[in-house]
């Protein structure tokens, strides 16, 4: 797993403050087995698939499990065969909160960060969640309650 030494980050800070670099990447012709080994050895949830020097797609743990469950042979199926190509991305100056919303709306767990058409980093839902929890624990206007409980917060 990538280690980071983050200072306090706020949801309105740019995601460049929390994105992970270097990014694990693989060529499109890498086998699903190689992708799985990379995910496991690096302790990460997704790898970028790079073709011709550009991010062509993303393969996540979910992609690997889905294809294996469908009977795919991990030695013969490639990263290009299983990668997500309809990418939802962010820019380094996008806000943490906006990146989190984008991930929630797209139902993704890993968000590539692109700068000048090159991959600049990755942000995971865990990275965003950590910032939001930290902010919630320091904000006096935030009330944390069990799921399903209705709360009204008034500003006087």
| Residue of higher predicted confidence among 134 and 81 | 81
Q: Residues 23, 48: contact at Cβ < 8 Å?
A: yes
Indicate the pairing of strand 110-115 with strand 54-60.
Answer: unpaired
Percent with pLDDT over 70 in the chain: 83
Element of type H or E holding 138: helix 125-138
Count CB atoms within 10 A of the CB of residue 69: 8
Confidence category of residue 133, pLDDT binned at 50, 70, 90: confident
Q: Read off the pLDDT of residues 105-132 as tens digits, 9 standing for 90 and up.
A: 999 999 999 999 899 999 999 999 999 8
């Amino acid at each position: 797993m990538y280690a980071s030494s983050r200072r306090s980050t706020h949801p309105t800070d740019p995601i460049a403050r929390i994105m992970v670099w270097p990014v694990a990447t693989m060529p499109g012709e890498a086998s699903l087995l190689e992708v799985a080994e990379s995910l496991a050895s690096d302790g990460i949830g997704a790898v970028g698939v790079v073709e011709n020097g550009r991010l062509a797609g993303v393969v996540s743990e979910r992609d690997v499990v889905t294809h294996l469950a469908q009977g795919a042979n991990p030695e013969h199926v490639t990263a290009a065969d299983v990668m997500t190509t309809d990418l939802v991305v962010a820019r380094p100056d996008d806000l943490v909160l906006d990146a989190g919303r984008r991930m929630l709306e797209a139902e993704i767990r890993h968000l590539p960060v692109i700068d000048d058409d090159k991959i600049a980093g990755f942000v995971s839902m865990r990275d965003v969640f950590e910032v939001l929890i930290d902010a919630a624990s320091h904000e006096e206007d935030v009330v944390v309650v069990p799921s399903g409980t209705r709360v009204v917060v008034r500003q006087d």
